[in-house]
Structure 1
Amino acid sequence: MSVSQVAPGLFLSGLDAALNRSLVASRDVTLIVNASGLEVAYPHPDSVKVLQVPVQDQPHAPIDRYFDSVAKRISENRTGSSLVHCVAGRSRSPALVLAYLMKCEGVSLRQAHELVMEKRSFIRPNAGFWRQLMAYERSLFGRNSMRMTNTCCGLLLEAVDADDTPAYCVNI
């Protein structure tokens, strides 16, 4: 059971942590964003609000439909902390947190990814979610800090510097 604090008042986890009443209470969670694709009966008091994000962990799934609404709900949650979860806390929920960080914290996708990786090193949004995140970054900032690159080993995610020079690659 792993919960990662990504920023003050923002946590990322899998389903098991979100179902743990004492863990949720100890982190003063008042908003749970459920991106698991499952209907969940949480053992938490009514003071914990739940936002359902009904999306599957499939590359074609339109997670970008939820970027703005999730970011808005997290930023408006002034009564406590927010916990964003999916089943494992590896793909859907990190994608939503990356979008939130870009939209509300004003950081690039690369900076958001580095921040989240520092706190939760095993995140791995699927390739379709990366494409949607890159399109979202372009709509927010007019440029991209990450790009997809075809290699002999398959598709890789590449972080780029301001001058479009490759900085490092990430397996997807």
Structure 2
Amino acid sequence: MAISQITGSLYLSGVEAVNPAALTHRKVTLLVLAAEELPLKPVSVELLHVPIRDEPHAPLSQHFESVSERIQQNHSGSSLVCCSAGRSRSPALVMAFLMKHEGLSREQVHRRVLEARPFIRPNAGFWRQLKEYERQLMHCNSIRMVTTSQGVLPEAIGQTHDRPYCLNI
């Protein structure tokens, strides 16, 4: 699982992809690590630790603003947001950043991140927190949570190309 580029200066990955050569190649000066533990060896970049578990009840939304602001303020290089596998916590943080600083809906940011990293799957609790964050930022929601045979998953509200946009199904 490699490092995925989301914007010109924002990357997403799991911790296994983080190494000095990868950070240098991408000019990373800010590493955001969303994990309860610090599984990384010391790195030569600024480290923002978000001590959170990948569990539906974990309060990831408490970190949306501070992480978004820190990424936005990083003018000295690129930012890399990572978690254990780069599938749930870190994509949710990246989506919150894109909603806040690019004014995109939750559906739009999900599509964008999914294009760069096709195997993301924020847990249902993080989706609910992103739903509330979207409501705070935009006073509406573009996605609702639905029960499927694979559990509770997000589904776009409205139509896309004459059919519902179902996520991660």
TM-score (norm 2): 0.92
Report the counterpart of residue 135 of structure 2 in structure 1: 138
Q: Give the partner amino acid of 1:109.
A: R
Cα deviation, 1:82-126, whole Å, max 9, x if unaligned, reads 000000000000000000000111100100000000000000000
Report the counterpart of residue 115 of structure 2 in structure 1: 118
Query: Does residue 1:16 correspond to 2:16, yes or no?
Result: yes
Q: Percent identity?
A: 53
Aligned with residue 82 of structure 1, among 69, 79, 84 = 79
Cα deviation, 1:5-59, whole Å, max 9, x if unaligned, reads 00110000000112x11011000000000102222443432xx100010100000
C-alpha distance in 2 between matches for 1:110 and 1:11: 19
CA 160–50 in structure 1, closer or farther in 2 if over 3 Å, else same: same
Q: Give the partner amino acid of 1:51.
A: L
C-alpha distance in 1 between matches for 2:107 and 2:77: 27
Contact 1:159–1:166 (8 Å) recurs in 2: no
Report the counterpart of residue 72 of structure 1 in structure 2: 69
Gaps of 5+ in 1: none
C-alpha distance in 2 between matches for 1:28 and 1:88: 21
Q: CA deviation at 1:166?
A: 6.8
Report the counterpart of residue 50 of structure 1 in structure 2: 47
Report the counterpart of residue 59 of structure 1 in structure 2: 56
Q: Give the partner amino acid of 1:8.
A: G
Indicate the SS of the match to 2:164: strand
Report the counterpart of residue 31 of structure 1 in structure 2: 30
Contact 2:143–2:154 (8 Å) recurs in 1: yes
Contact 2:15–2:40 (8 Å) recurs in 1: no
CA 154–126 in structure 1, closer or farther in 2 if over 3 Å, else same: closer
Report the counterpart of residue 104 of structure 2 in structure 1: 107
C-alpha distance in 2 between matches for 1:71 and 1:129: 16
Q: CA deviation at 1:155?
A: 2.4
Report the more deviating stretch, 9-18 or 34-43: 34-43
Contact 1:12–1:93 (8 Å) recurs in 2: yes
Contact 1:102–1:108 (8 Å) recurs in 2: yes
C-alpha distance in 2 between matches for 1:3 and 1:25: 13
Contact 1:159–1:169 (8 Å) recurs in 2: yes
- Cα RMSD over matched residues? 1.9
Count of paired positions: 168
Report the more deviating stretch, 29-38 or 69-78: 29-38
Q: CA deviation at 1:157?
A: 1.3
Contact 1:32–1:83 (8 Å) recurs in 2: yes
